[in-house]
A and B are shown apart, each in its own frame.
Chain A
């Protein structure tokens, strides 16, 4: 099968500052790839490039064989849960509906069919119970469920999740990752999952793209998340410890796999 996302010699710089360069990556259908790295290493730029909102300064990026902008409607985008405007006077079902026809100008036509589809999507992400509740009254975890529904509304080939677990508790983290993984398994949707914290998705991840100030590395978690590999990326000594199937990184500042000690693993 051909790759859904393909980067060749891709690089991005802002003026003299190179964020990342010589990036070679093919994401296959149904693949779950986690994008890790400290703040400022270019995770956000990577997301923006995939969405066609940030042109590369070197190399090529194709999404489904096209330019990212042309492929935008095949990407389901799940942003951080804080990204929603506080003034958003909307219900959960309206947010999902935007995912279907929010980009169209002119008055709404054929509303019955769309409404049925919204119901179906809300049920599939387990959000039917609060479909009519204003978004401002939902919890972070509930809002992210709705977000995933919105992203799935276009029946995307790729799910692009940008820190979707941020400020969610463990229970909701698991619920959100399970929804994403279920979609990948049922539809062969590729998942690009940008995250600060690898552990909630460690069991699902096929490969990792680790972006660091000193370069990047692509590979399975076992290849990339090792003391030797991360020490090379950071240019200083980093220890990777595995405890009960969880990864802890010691020595790297602001590390994505860094584990907060007081967090209890059930």
Chain B
């Protein structure tokens, strides 16, 4: 079989499509959550936190796999523990990065241990790190959807003060916005979002859903309506496109997702450069 055929194979596509129905549903929820949470990950400069949380999430998921428990629940537990620790111990950026740097290898090590002890199918193990489309069965989909709903409601409630506190913490605090409380609350929300993403793209590639789409959107707009909207569109395109392309192949889903989201970013960066130059020209022209 040629390399090309390993990467792209659309034989019996219709039959395969039925098999990944759950993944497509989960992917849509994930695109929504990742695209929206990503806006604050970019605003609050938290990519490293996302990475740190995802390793603990991986540890939780692999622990659950070993014990024969619900993998999504295990993944969420690991995520929340990490997010809580980062939120409590790392109020300042410098402390935060140290906490993350300490948690991350510990989580990864723990996960490797659990997977080494696990005697089941090897594909399950690999899937947690790099993602796989058939990982999502029906009870897991229910878990994913409920968690997504929790994240979306939390974000809807705190969106405005969180945006204020993220962009302009001094004035927000002066206006009575609970800056610290929101910072912790967002960490928890982020923990849940990461746990969701780990299910589909795997622990190592979570950033492609939680940073890249929002960062791409930020290159082309600063509008508080358009930016989250574009971010969601990009995240959904990446994940659903990734699932559909990966369908017939023998390769994990993540390279498809990461490539689509990277290409979107590069395109936005190019458009952004052009736009900035145009703004600059307009703004230096005599009034």
Contact = CB atoms under 8 A, between A and B. Distances in A.
B169 A105 contact: no
A83 to B, nearest CB: 5
A96 B174 CA distance: 15
Contact of B279 (A73, A75, A95, A133): A133
A103 B177 contact: yes
B176 A103 contact: yes
Most buried by A among B45, B163, B175, B280: B175
Given A104-B160, A106-B157, A85 B174 contact: no
Most buried by A among B157, B160, B276, B287: B160
Contact of B171 (A94, A98, A129): A98
A90 B283 contact: no
A102 B177 contact: yes
B158 interface: yes
A106 B175 CA distance: 17
Contact of A73 (B170, B176, B280): B176
B162 to A, nearest CB: 9
B157 A51 contact: no
A105 B161 contact: yes
B286 interface: no
B224 interface: yes
B197 to A, nearest CB: 21
Contacts of A69: 176
A51 B167 contact: no
B64 interface: no
Interface in A28-54: 51, 53
B44 interface: yes
Contacts of B224: 90, 94
B222 A134 contact: yes
A104 B167 contact: no
B42 A89 contact: yes
B164 interface: yes
Nearest to A162: B170
Contacts of A113: none
Given A79-B170, A137-B276, A102 B175 contact: yes
B175 A103 contact: yes
Given A83-B170, A89-B167, A137 B177 contact: no
A207 B170 CA distance: 27
Interface in A99-123: 99, 101-108
A107 B159 CA distance: 8
Nearest to B224: A94
The dominant DSSP class at the B interface is helix
B223 interface: yes
A95 B283 CA distance: 20
B220 to A, nearest CB: 11
Contacts of A53: 173-174
**How many of chain A's residues touch chain B, expressed as a range?**
35 or more
A95 to B, nearest CB: 7
Nearest to A85: B167
Nearest to B276: A137
Contacts of A84: 167-168
Most buried by B among A89, A90, A105, A108: A89
B174 A72 contact: yes
A105 B283 contact: no
Contacts of B223: 91
Contacts of A87: 42-45, 166-167
Interface in A63-96: 69, 72-73, 75, 77, 79, 83-85, 87-91, 94-95
Contacts of A105: 157-158, 160-161
Contacts of A83: 168, 170-171
A134 B279 CA distance: 10
Nearest to A79: B170
A98 B176 contact: no
Contacts of A51: 173-174
B76 interface: no
B156 interface: yes
B151 to A, nearest CB: 16
Contacts of A101: 160
Nearest to B173: A53
A234 interface: no
B172 A103 contact: yes
B171 to A, nearest CB: 6
Most buried by B among A69, A85, A135: A85
B227 interface: yes
Contacts of B175: 72-73, 77, 99, 102-103, 154
22 contacts: A73-B175, A77-B170, A79-B170, A83-B171, A84-B168, A85-B43, A85-B167, A85-B168, A87-B42, A87-B167, A90-B222, A98-B163, A98-B167, A102-B172, A103-B161, A103-B175, A105-B158, A106-B156, A106-B160, A108-B160, A130-B283, A135-B222
Given A83-B168, A107-B159, 7 more contacts: A51-B174, A84-B167, A87-B44, A89-B227, A91-B223, A98-B164, A137-B276
The 4 closest A-B pairs by CB, nearest first: A102-B164, A134-B222, A88-B167, A77-B174
